[in-house]
A and B are shown apart, each in its own frame.
Chain A
Amino acid sequence: MLDKLTISQSEIANDIINRGLVEAAFSLEQIIQSEVNIETIDFLLNNENDTQLFTLKDSTSTHYLIETVIKGEFKGVCYLVLSKDDVNKIHKKCLSANILESNAPNDIMMKKAILTEIDNMLSAAVITEFANRLNVNIYGDVPKLRVVEQNEANQIIRKEAKEYNCLLHFNAVLHAKELDISPDFLWLLDDDFVNNIKKLATN
């Protein structure tokens, strides 16, 4: 996974990330009441290729980019990336018909709130796994939602990757078969994450 880690360190990192993602998939399953599988997990070292696209959703679709900043003993940021089609399906599954059809300010807010709440629970599932396994005090800040085109989504993520001096990022596709949605769940972590893995491996 990472050439900066030894094999055993890499195995620990893989295990923590995979377990965190399993917990996130389970949380998503509970919310949307539909079986969720982790379709792919891509681990990448940052700055390998500056032009690389972080989100690989349909380039013609509007992206719902929900950002959670990780605070505490190591820094990072995660994004839940949904297509417009994903969002419509989640709304249909989780909200009542009167909210779905309404354009009242409160109902519009509710449509956004369900998305940030899903992100909140998914990111917290991963953060909890990191915190418990690495014995660090970290938490996710209040999520922020942005609705952007693919190009802009990638620009935002690339900029953040530089800001956090990101060493590692991983991207998982969480596939809910029945609902037929496949959000990207992308994480950018600074080198303190890797340092904590090394510390854990030494112990």
Chain B
Amino acid sequence: MSKKVLIVDDSNYMRTLIKDTLKEEGYEIVGEAPNGETAIDLAMELKPDLMTLDNILPDMVGNDIIKIIKDEGLKTKVVVISAVGQQSVVNEGMEYGASDYIVKPFTPEDLVEVVNRLF
């Protein structure tokens, strides 16, 4: 059975890029969210296996979203995909429970490699 993925990014361009890349690799894209509130609602409802998460969203930062879904007991693995590359922020994301962190710009191959490694 293919793994269910929720894509969270305020950029339509980035959501499409991630969606097309992961669909081609056989993942099922079950939802997309342009902001934190929608991301949390969809995560609770769809219980995806994986969430790709932009760290800076119009209403929230990614680390807070990770904390909320982990506190709710979701087993969703989170890959943070962000242009923010400073080491302290990357470390913080991992401490909150992210499974991996990809710094933009990235190639589709980079994304596939990281995601495949998780399953």
Binding site for B on A (CB under 8 A): 27, 30-31, 106, 109-110, 113-114, 116-117, 120-121, 123-125, 127-128, 131-132, 137, 139-142
Interface centre among B10, B13, B16, B87 (most CB of A within 10 A): B13
Asked if B56 contacts A141 (CB within 8 A), the reply is yes
Asked if B13 contacts A124 (CB within 8 A), the reply is no
Interface centre among B12, B84, B86 (most CB of A within 10 A): B86
Residues in A with CB closer than 8 Å to B105 are 27, 30-31, 121
Binding site for A on B (CB under 8 A): 10-14, 16, 56-58, 82-89, 104-105, 107
CA A139 – CA B62 in complex, angstroms? 13
Residues in B with CB closer than 8 Å to A27 are 104-105
Asked if B89 contacts A139 (CB within 8 A), the reply is yes
What distance in Å separates the Cβ of B41 from its nearest Cβ neighbour in chain A?
A: 20
- Contact count A vs B, C-beta below 8 Å: 56
Residues in B with CB closer than 8 Å to A140 are 56, 83-84
Query: Given A117-B11, A124-B104, A142-B10, is A110 in contact with B16 using a C-beta cutoff of 8 Å?
Result: yes
Q: Which of B12, B86, B87 contacts A109 (CB 8 A)?
A: B12
- 10 extra interface residue pairs, beta carbon distance < 8 Å, beyond A113-B14, A120-B104, A127-B86: A30-B105, A110-B12, A116-B11, A117-B11, A121-B104, A123-B83, A127-B84, A131-B88, A139-B56, A141-B56
Residues in A with CB closer than 8 Å to B83 are 120-121, 123-125, 140
Interface centre among A30, A110, A116, A142 (most CB of B within 10 A): A142
CA A141 – CA B107 in complex, angstroms? 23
Chain B residue with the shortest CB-CB distance to A132 = B86
CA A110 – CA B14 in complex, angstroms? 9
Asked if A114 contacts B13 (CB within 8 A), the reply is yes
**Selected A-B contacts with CB under 8 Å, 24 pairs:** A27-B104, A30-B107, A31-B105, A109-B12, A110-B16, A116-B11, A117-B104, A120-B11, A120-B104, A121-B83, A121-B104, A121-B105, A124-B83, A128-B84, A131-B86, A131-B88, A132-B86, A132-B87, A137-B88, A139-B56, A140-B56, A140-B83, A141-B56, A142-B57
Residues in A with CB closer than 8 Å to B11 are 113, 116-117, 120
